[in-house]
Amino acid sequence: MSELGQSGQGQEESKISSYEGEQYLPYAELGQGEDFDIFGSVVVTNEDGTKEWKSYYGNQAVTKRLFTDPILAQADIQEDSQVVLVDFGGGDGIMLEQVNDQLSQKGLNVEPILLDMDEKKLEQAKQNRPNIRPIVGDLAKMPLLENSVDIGISRMAMQYLPRPFDRTEPLPKWLPVNYAIVRKQFEKDGYINQYDVLKEMYRVVKPDHTLVLVWPGAYKYATEEEKKRSDNISFFWNRITAAKELSQPHGRLMDEDFVSLERWFTAGEEMAQFAQKAGFDVEDGGEVDWIEYRITAKSVQNRFDPKGTWSDNIRQYIEEDFETADSKYQRGEGLDIIKWHDKNAVRLPISRLVLRKPKLTNNE
């Protein structure tokens, strides 16, 4: 057994509400993603330059390239060495299982731990992937011991935490309507942000060990002026999720709970600064140039309304969002809307950091 432990916070954490509603397809059921109307599809550029559709969540080769390869490149791992592999915000465990399999095939003896605040997803993981150990916990306050994790991985979780920003500055006028609610939430929960989570990851990862962090990046297509705005919020996603959750034709965030639906797309360079400030060495990082997420209105409906229960006006509302998105909703997010097969699609860059907690020096 590893030296990893639970501090008993699990019970308390379990009261945190799930970040999404229940009427959506789990990642494991999204299909293989070879179609732009399947949510979670990515365009991957192969080594020979050809481009292919792949499933971001389900495709083993994508996971290998994004996670397992950099882990193996970093690690001085010996065959049969025992490694505690923790997926931070790992959801239903689909990726943890893949990385676990891939590392195990290399001869490592892996203890895979799935940490997430969403108990329903952990329950799914327990049923479908019995070799994985689920732990309920908040990324900001993990029930894990200091220096207990050999390899950390995390995919698409950082964007649920806000970027740090100076709240004393005047608010930019383009901020979304729900900003007051966001601020209230920050004041209530102590304003936990992406930097705080990186500090927490730093605490639990062993010295001289690796963390691979992947999240939806931003700003790749933004103007220089837009890149300077580090306090913007993904209004675009708010509207989709709020419309869905509230079942209203003109969804707005009306309840504090929905604050957790915010997405904060942070540029690779900026996240690297947070990571360094938290204590990590940045081994590699930035927007990944061989993969691009694409989302259409239909793919949103296919995932979030798989049973077809949305009313026509909600469906129409989402479609209109994509139609008008380029002018109305980019707002410095760096979201890029392209016309594509007669549809509008959002291109979302994927960012990755390969981080290493430095060796402790003698006086530490």
Ligand X SMILES: C[S@@+](CC[C@H](N)C(=O)[O-])C[C@H]1O[C@@H](n2cnc3c(N)ncnc32)[C@H](O)[C@@H]1O
Interior angle at CA 213, CA 209 and CA 214, nearest 5: 155
Q: Smallest gap, in angstroms, from Cβ of residue 93 to ligand X?
A: 8
Closest to ligand X by CB, 118 vs 333, is: 118
Beta strands in the chain (DSSP E): 41-45, 51-55, 82-88, 109-116, 133-136, 149-155, 205-216, 281-296, 336-340, 343-356
Q: Which amino acid is at 277?
A: K
Q: Smallest gap, in angstroms, from Cβ of residue 19 to ligand X?
A: 5
Both structure tokens of 74: 């970093």
Q: Smallest gap, in angstroms, from Cβ of residue 339 to ligand X?
A: 27
Closest to ligand X by CB, 117 vs 218, is: 117
Which of helix, strand or coil describes residue 34?
A: coil
Closest to ligand X by CB, 17 vs 316, is: 17
Q: Smallest gap, in angstroms, from Cβ of residue 330 to ligand X?
A: 22
Q: Smallest gap, in angstroms, from Cβ of residue 122 to ligand X?
A: 9
Q: Which residues bind ligand X (CB under 6 A)?
A: 19, 27, 57, 89-91, 94-95, 116-118, 121, 138-140, 155-157, 160
Closest to ligand X by CB, 140 vs 282, is: 140
Q: Smallest gap, in angstroms, from Cβ of residue 209 to ligand X?
A: 20
Closest to ligand X by CB, 138 vs 292, is: 138
Q: Smallest gap, in angstroms, from Cβ of residue 174 to ligand X?
A: 25
Closest to ligand X by CB, 92 vs 321, is: 92
Q: Could you give the C-alpha distances from 15 to 19, 35, 182, in angstroms and in order?
A: 12, 37, 20
Closest to ligand X by CB, 188 vs 250, is: 188
Which of these, 311, 327, 319, 322, lies nearest to 347 by C-alpha position? 322
Cβ-contact 83, 111 below 8 angstroms: yes
Which of helix, strand or coil describes residue 216?
A: strand
- Burial pattern 36-66, b for ≥16 Cβ within 10 A else e, equals bbbbbbbebeeeeeeeebbbbbbbbebbbbb
Closest to ligand X by CB, 84 vs 213, is: 213
Cβ-contact 287, 268 below 8 angstroms: yes
How many Cα atoms within 13 Å fall on the side-chain side of residue 24? 21
Residue number closest to ligand X, CB atom: 91
Q: Smallest gap, in angstroms, from Cβ of residue 137 to ligand X?
A: 6
Which of these, 256, 211, 236, 261, lies nearest to 330 by C-alpha position? 236
